[in-house]
Amino acid sequence: MQAAAEQESTVQSSTTPEAASSHSLRSRRIRLGSGSGEREEQVLKVALIGKPNSGKSTLFNALTGMRQKVANYPGVTVEKREAVLTWKGRQIRLVDLPGTYSLNAVSEDESLVRDLLLGLDKHETRPDLLLLIVDAANPERCLFLASQMAELGIPVLLALTMGDEARRRGLALDISELRSRLGAPVYEVCAPRGEGLKELKDALLSAASATQSMPAWSPAGVLASVLEQAQQVPGMESLPSAGARRQAALLLLQGQLILPAAGEPATAEKLQALRQRLDAEQPQWRQNEAQWRYDWVHSLLAAVRQGQSASQARISAVIDSVLTHPVYGLLVFALVMAVLFQSIFSWASPLMDLVDGGFAWLGSAVGSLLPEGPLRGLLVDGVIGGVGSVVIFLPQILLLFLFITILEDSGYMARAAFMMHKHMRRSGLHGRSFIPMLSGFACAIPAIMATRSIPDRRDRLVTMLAVPFISCSARLPVYALMIACFIPALPIFAGFTLQGAVLWSAYIVSVLAAIVTAFLLRRTVLRGENSPFVMELPPYRLPNWRNVLMGMWERGRLFLVQAGTVILCLSIVLWFLTNYPKQPQIAAQYDQMRTDAAIIYEPGEQLDARLEQLDQLQAAEEIKASFAGRLGHAIEPLIKPLGFDWKIGIGLIASFAAREVLVSTLAIVYGVGEADESSQTLQDKLKQEVDPVSGKPVFNVLVAINLMLFFILACQCMSTVAVVKRETNSWKWPLFMVGYMTAVAYLVCLLVYQVASRIWPGLA
């Protein structure tokens, strides 16, 4: 029977109104194959809930491993992670809810948690059990949330995390006393080391039918009467418990919750009258609930805390005095970023050479097995050359994510956000904008989705429109190619080189562009009052290496999936566009020139050089006459003032699908992929490319810098446009974003090239 339960199974879920309103275990049945027959088993839905930085995601990763999947909640863009695991023959569906501090939601993700737990979400069934994550080193806000959860009619199980950290700080909790006073199961776990996970899984199976004796908030005075009347609002009757109805009524009166019926004139008038009555007879009614809960939390902690020491707090305060200092903090942040970008070049080079050599060998092997013809060209030049020219940058992308994840897990990023708040506020950005903008270094899409944690709509829009300027990992292959080709690795000081400094400067320019954009938007189309900024600083801790490696794996996997889908498809399309229509007259002309060369020159170096020259000239003529060449020549007059030729133009057009496609496009346009003894890398081809009219190199330092600038400033990512449309539910803002970013990119690059080429002619 146990073996049968561990086999793959198909989940079939059906929820009736009666089941949705039930407080006990709901029946979600699955059929489990057991060879000779079938049996039905209940799937236990467990929601992990907790405040940010409490160890919730770490515990979820430890419980689920690589079995988790990421999706969006129905109707919204808030991500959810879930996984189904089998434990002792039972199926447990774990759902990792977004971090929240209380049911008093201030952002979209917190609103989703509130609606799900109150029973207002019509798309998702309520959980059978709440696994509440409590940070033992900082339990006040977690226990505040616990007191609210216990009144919703859903069993609650508490998992204490950060216990070792709490003990180091002299803040250990008496678990048996805590369990007794709460009347709820409490288990200590250490997810990074796997301690307590078995006991926690056992508890999940038994806690779903348990009841809590945790004290409940009882409104007093006129507030009790008003809440009773507010619960008569249409729609309240469907909520699954008395506690849920009371919480919803309070939020409704506070204006933090909007039910469909609340907009009807009679209902709105009734609610307004109730608010006026409360304001007149019990002016402090809005603070009553929070005050009661915090008083209860403080009395509980006074009874269960076993000791207290300020030594750890003093050490943390000393470190914070440096890392959050307005001057020293900025210097430390700049140094951290400089080390990060220098390492991307220094540490990744051996692995990049290995990947490059692997694709070169693969291209040579495939080329030797196939006869000359379209199929060989497609596979070697289009597929292997196109995809390989992008995959080579995977080590650099993994290093970028390694550093970012370590900085987040260690607690430094929250300090950086706190330190940058004052500077960001001056530019019109909210303090909470720092985390989405930092996420933008990885990818603009999750960064834009992360703006939902910003309460104010204007602040959220400003951040959303500024984030695409931040240099994401898709731009890194373009930067790396240009810098490796045209910026020498001159030493500056203590292991830092000019290449690393230029890369660091590219990221600085992208941040400045985002800040200037936010400044202008906040004073024009999105002007308004600044909203307050409150942030909880997590304790310093060693990074969880399991989380770090899983984050790197997930990002690397997504990059390779994109290389195997989007970039592969575009590489095939671009190969076709650069090779067709065929031009027999050009081939015949150059065949005759080769015959003439064989007559003029004796076999040797001169003949080989002439034949190689003819091959390059023929390839250039054929690409020029191809579909892609015609398109590139059509836009060349527009981009020529920027220093770009028609071949770069082909790459600019293709990169609107995905920025990194520029590299694979140039590889195809320049014929990189035919691996033989005389083959050249893309870097070699770019360095040797000469304008047939002027005789000058097509690529130089100024063109390379200008191309990097264009990619910093232009909106060349259709996925980013799509997610902005989805987040704003309008085409107005994404079209505005594409328009102003493209205009800024063009005007800045035009100014830089025209001015620099006149002041420093040697650069061009």
Q: Model pTM?
A: 0.59
- How many whole angstroms separate alpha carbon 705 and alpha carbon 698? 13
Contact 213, 332 (CB under 8 A): no
Contact 678, 665 (CB under 8 A): no
Q: Tell me which H or E stretch contains 735.
A: helix 732-759
Six-digit token string for 281:
């007879």
Q: Which of these, 739, 316, 325, lies nearest to 541 by C-alpha position?
A: 316
Q: Which has the minimum average pLDDT: 96-100, 122-126, 325-329, 659-663? A: 659-663
Fold of the domain built from segment(s) 2-207: Rossmann fold (3.40.50)
Six-digit token string for 620:
């250039």
Q: Which has the minimum average pLDDT: 24-38, 69-83, 431-445? A: 24-38
- How many whole angstroms separate alpha carbon 571 and alpha carbon 577? 10
Kindly report each contact of residues 237-242 with a partner whose C-beta sits within 8 Å and lies 24 or more positions away, as own/partner: 238/21, 238/119, 239/118, 239/119, 239/120, 240/20, 240/21, 240/22, 240/23, 240/119, 240/126, 240/152, 240/153, 241/23, 241/119, 241/151, 241/152, 241/153, 242/153
Report pLDDT digits (tens) over 304-316. Answer: 887 555 555 567 7
- Going by pLDDT thresholds of 50, 70 and 90, the confidence category of residue 513 is very high
Could you state, in order of their start, the residue ranges of all structural domains in the chain? 2-207, 222-281, 564-763
Exposed/middle/buried for 260, CB within 10 Å: 0-12, 13-18, 19+? exposed
Name 290's Cβ contacts closer than 8 Å, sequence gap at least 6. 144
Q: Which has the minimum average pLDDT: 143-152, 222-231, 345-354, 536-545? A: 536-545
Look at residue 261 in the predicted model and tell me its pLDDT: 67
Exposed/middle/buried for 97, CB within 10 Å: 0-12, 13-18, 19+? buried
Q: What is the residue-wise DSSP string for 26-64?
A: ---EEEEE-SS-EEEEEEEEEEEE--TTSSHHHHHHHHH
Average pLDDT for 71-88: 66
Look at residue 448 in the predicted model and tell me its pLDDT: 79
Report pLDDT digits (tens) over 447-475. Answer: 777 677 676 778 888 889 999 998 887 78
- How many whole angstroms separate alpha carbon 439 and alpha carbon 421? 16
Q: Which of these, 40, 48, 36, lies nearest to 9 by C-alpha position?
A: 40
- Let me know the angle formed at the C-alpha of 673 by 670 and 678, rounded to the nearest 5 degrees: 90
- Going by pLDDT thresholds of 50, 70 and 90, the confidence category of residue 70 is very low
Q: Which has the minimum average pLDDT: 157-171, 304-318, 627-641? A: 304-318
**At residue 254, does pLDDT exceed 90?**
no
Neighbours of 457 (CB within 10 A): 12
- How many whole angstroms separate alpha carbon 546 and alpha carbon 60? 12
Residue % of the chain over a pLDDT of 90? 11
Exposed/middle/buried for 436, CB within 10 Å: 0-12, 13-18, 19+? buried
Residue type, 376: R
- Measure CA 14 to chain center: 33
- How many whole angstroms separate alpha carbon 630 and alpha carbon 151? 69
Six-digit token string for 460:
């959220």
Six-digit token string for 676:
């033989």
